[in-house]
Structure 1
Amino acid sequence: MQVREAMSSDVLVVGPEHTLREAARMMSARGVGSAVVIDPDSEGVGIMTERDVLNAIGAGLDCDVERTAAHLTWDAVYAGPDWTVEEAAAAMARGGFRHLVVLEGREVTGVISVRDLMRVWARDRTPTRA
């Protein structure tokens, strides 16, 4: 199975100037564990995850002041939509990631998460009843 078949194409995109609280509220409302951060003034695409928010709170930072730009990964590993889900899982395992931004060229087409991989794995291994 390819990443394009397992990924979520409904991607939450936030700006680098959103506060952590704003980003966390949007992530919570959408039921997602990550947000893609696109900064029109820089190259590339970043990702902010629930773990980034948790680390900021754990460090005693003010979530109403801290901006997403200071709490994200710019040098993320990106998956291609034609990757297999096994390739995505291997990249996640190697990097210790739970989310990969899926890029087709320079365009964000989705996010694949460990949850997506588990859903695919469980569906493919659940016996069907006659």
Structure 2
Amino acid sequence: MARIYDLVKDRRVYSCDADQTVVEAARFMMEHNIGAVPVLRNGELVGMFSERDIMNRVVAVVSEVMTANPRSVSVDESVDECLFLMREFGFRHLPICEGKQLRGVISLRDVMLRSAKENPGAQRIAV
């Protein structure tokens, strides 16, 4: 069974600081073509900030509009469990942590592409 971390271990981990402005975080996300970014304070994961958060409030610091205390998965989590969590809670992005250390971010798109590669003849999965 594939570990979830194996899907992202070779990627650079992008994050922003909780005290950055929404504009700074949005510009960073646009520059790196990402839809969500983990939010760190003193190197520890404190939230997730996404395009949807931007739509809620434009002039604020990230910590005021982020999803606080986000659910995360361990580096050893299975792809199937991550898909379950995404479906169950409506997440499109999950931080991957080892203890309190952020190691990566997995997106619903990553999981679906992996599933399509492993099961090319399978029907589409409804998420």
TM-score (normalised: structure 2):
0.84
Q: CA deviation at 1:79?
A: 0.6
Question: Within the alignment, does 1:126 sit opposite 2:120 as a pair?
Answer: yes
Deviation per residue, 1:93-128 (Å, 9 max, x gap)? 11111111100111100001101111101111226x
**Higher relative contact order, structure no. (Cα contacts within 8 Å, ≥ 6 residues apart):** 1
Structure 1: give runs of 5+ residues left out of the alignment. 57-62
Distance in 2 between residues matched to 1:99 and 1:44, nearest whole Å: 14
What is the percentage of aligned positions where both structures have the same residue? 31
CA contact (8 A) 1:11 1:35 kept: no
**Greater strand share, structure number:** 2
Which structure 2 residues correspond to residues 1-130 of structure 1 after superposition, within 5 A?
1-7=2-8, 9-40=11-42, 44-56=45-57, 63=58, 65-126=59-120
Point out where structure 2 has 5 or more consecutive residues left out of the alignment: 122-127
Distance 2:13 2:26 in 1: 14
CA contact (8 A) 2:18 2:39 kept: yes
Q: What secondary structure sits across from 1:28 in the alignment?
A: helix
Which whole-Å deviations, capped at 9, do the CAs of 1:77-99 have from their partners, x for residues lacking one? 11111111000011111111111
Contact 1:7 1:112 in 2 (8 A): yes
Larger-Rg structure:
1
- Of 4-13 and 22-31, more deviation after overlay is shown by 4-13
User: Per the alignment, do residues 122 and 34 of structure 1 end up closer, same or farther by CA in structure 2, a change over 3 Å counting?
Assistant: same
